[in-house]
Structure 1
Amino acid sequence: MSTRAKALRSTPTDAEKRLWRLLYTFRTSGYHFRKQSQVGDYFPDFVCHHAHLVIEVDGGQHYADAGLAHDAMRDAFLRSRGYDVLRFSNLDVLTNPDGVFDIVAQSLEGRPASPRHQAMDGKTA
């Protein structure tokens, strides 16, 4: 684990903590999200590698011109690596968790789950 990733994981915002609890429920369907997992030079807030989905939780700095420009470059890089990017504001996560959950669930529909989960499903069927 890189020093940067470790530092980011150790200081989550309240919105990141809340979203982590929401994302944890997707594990039962085989979608394992990681916090601050490196993709290229970037450390997305949350990433599900099997589903190729990145989720970012944005504070106010992301809505300034410099933040918007940086996020556009970052999103373009992530898309070039095959990831889709969902962005939610801190306010969205803290005040509308059900809506955020629904958007994530819709985004995961039809995406591949963990091969380990798929193997377990095959054994129980």
Structure 2
Amino acid sequence: MYQSSNQRDFARELRTKATEQERLLWSQLRKRQLLDCRFRRQFAIGPYVVDFECFERLLIVELDGGQHNTLESRDYDAKRTTYLEQRGYRVLRFWNSDIADDFDAVLEAIAKALVERAPGRPHPGPPPEGEGELGGYPIE
């Protein structure tokens, strides 16, 4: 999708002002560290800038702070999610506290979504004998 210069500038500004939780998650998503999938951070899609985007799997990861817990913010986030889902994306949302409280569970949820959205993924079922992990993350 086309990005206006204003969107690119806004995304660049967000990257320089990343929260501690965003920096921690980015340290695990960058450079294809998670299941060899490429993520971009603070990336503009249409009128919105998303926290993390994996285009090859059409997956978006959003980290939400307390400001997202108002009725107005929840409505705005729902509108964003609908817009992104209409374009084929799956949107995963985590609270910043999820990063602090159980970072491994967040990474496992992202890995599971990446596996589910893999091209040519076989029918879901138990893994063949001797297999049960992909990239260090259990497949459930």
Check whether TM > 0.5: yes
Q: Does the alignment pair 1:88 with 2:89?
A: no
Asked which structure has the greater RCO (Cα within 8 Å, sep 6+), the reply is 1
Looking at structure 1, the residues matched to 34 and 20 of structure 2 have their Cα atoms a distance apart, in angstroms, of 24
1:30-75 CA-to-partner distances (Å, cap 9, x unmatched) read 3100001111011100000110000000000111101100000000
Q: Does the alignment pair 1:21 with 2:27?
A: yes
1:7-40 CA-to-partner distances (Å, cap 9, x unmatched) read 0111000110111112237446331000011110
SS in structure 2 of the partner of residue 36 of structure 1: strand
From the two aligned structures, give the one with the greater helix fraction.
Answer: 1
SS in structure 2 of the partner of residue 45 of structure 1: strand
Looking at structure 1, the residues matched to 9 and 20 of structure 2 have their Cα atoms a distance apart, in angstroms, of 22
Task: Give the total of aligned pairs.
Answer: 113
Q: TM-score, normalized by length of structure 2? A: 0.75
Q: Does the alignment pair 1:3 with 2:26?
A: no
Looking at structure 1, the residues matched to 48 and 82 of structure 2 have their Cα atoms a distance apart, in angstroms, of 12
From the two aligned structures, give the one with the greater strand fraction.
Answer: 2
- The root-mean-square deviation of aligned C-alpha atoms, in Å, is 1.7
Change in CA separation of 1:63 and 1:50 when aligned onto 2, cut-off 3 Å: same
Larger Rg: 2
Q: TM-score, normalized by length of structure 1? A: 0.84
Q: Does the alignment pair 1:78 with 2:96?
A: no
Shift of 1:94: 1.7
- Amino-acid identity (%): 36
SS in structure 2 of the partner of residue 77 of structure 1: helix
